[in-house]
A and B are shown apart, each in its own frame.
Chain A
Amino acid sequence: DIVMTQGVLPNPVPSGESASITCRSSKSLVYKDGKTYLNWFLQRPGQSPQLLTYWMSTRASGVSDRFSGSGSGTYFTLKISRVRAEDAGVYYCQQVREYPRTFGGGTKLELK
């Protein structure tokens, strides 16, 4: 199985600052079509996860352009610009390159 490893944020993050969340995969997530099969989700307290980006850097419908995904085949970053109170929660990366689909352990974002 592909192992997804997420970094830790130096919490709390001051409101209005930027935050970068990292994720590493044990195997390249680039498929032969050239796409990188990585999703990012945000789970706010008491809620279901919400899709933020797919194909590593494509924002889901309705997601703020303050969220941007980037990376290589095995190392990925989700950058959140001008952090706001509603961005608080746990962020998960997920690989959809191979079965079984696997998630990172989550990165908690707290705001100051």
Chain B
Amino acid sequence: QVQLQQSGAELVKPGSSVKISCKASGYTFTSYDMHWIKQQPGNGLEWIGWIYPGNGNTKYNQKFNGKATLTADKSSSTAYMQLSSLTSEDSAVYFCARGTYYDYWGQGVMVTVSS
């Protein structure tokens, strides 16, 4: 069955970077986009961008240009998102979701930015 297993919670300092992962199983990793979505505490959902692992193509929400970098490792069927120059506004849960229809989601990674 399709599963997206995300990495564990992160506590990071302001100004630093963090890289979170989303390991896919149960389907052909290179055949579906992987999308990333941000959810701040008590807030709604915000689309960050997608990566197509088959060729590495990416598409970003302009709001996250320079903040988020999406990569994928075909050998391990894992998608990554690096967030840089972290501030308190980046404290949130980050989800990965499969494909155009977002039909499968990871469990989410809580990133807390605090000194």
Docked-complex contact B103 and A92, CB < 8 angstroms: no
Which of B11-19, B40-48, B76-84 faces chain A? Answer: B40-48
The reply to whether B101 and A103 contact each other, CB–CB distance below 8 Å, is no
Verify if B115 is at the interface (C-beta below 8 Å from A). Answer: no
Given contacts A41-B102, A49-B105, contact A100 B44 (CB under 8 A): no
- Residues on the B chain within 8 Å of A96, using CB: 100
**CB atoms of A39 and B101 under 8 A apart:** yes
Size category of the B interface is 10 to 19
CA distance A92 to B97 in the complex (A): 15
Give chain A nearest CB distance to B78 CB in angstroms: 18
User: If A48-B95, A49-B95 touch, does A99 touch B61 (CB 8 Å cutoff)?
Assistant: yes
Interface range, A side = 20 to 34
Minimum distance in angstroms from B90 CB to a CB of chain A: 18
Closest to A99 in B: B59
Q: Which chain B residue has the least Cβ–Cβ distance from A105?
A: B44
Query: Does A11 interact with chain B (Cβ within 8 Å)?
Result: no
With known contacts A99-B59, A100-B62, A51–B102 Cβ distance under 8 A: yes
Per-residue CB contact flags for chain A residues 87-112 toward chain B (1 = under 8 Å, else 0) read 00000101010011111111000000
Chain B residues near A60 (CB-CB < 8 A): 101, 103
Q: Bound state CA distance, A46 and B102, in angstroms?
A: 18
Asked if B7 CB lies within 8 Å of chain A CBs, one says: no
Query: Which residues of chain A in 22-81 are interfacial with respect to chain B, using CB atoms and an 8 Å cutoff?
Result: 39, 41, 48-51, 54, 60-61
The verdict on B106 contacting chain A, using a C-beta distance below 8 Å, is yes
What are 13 A-B pairs with beta-carbon distances under 8 A? A41-B45, A41-B102, A49-B45, A54-B101, A92-B45, A94-B47, A99-B61, A100-B62, A101-B47, A102-B47, A103-B45, A106-B44, A106-B45
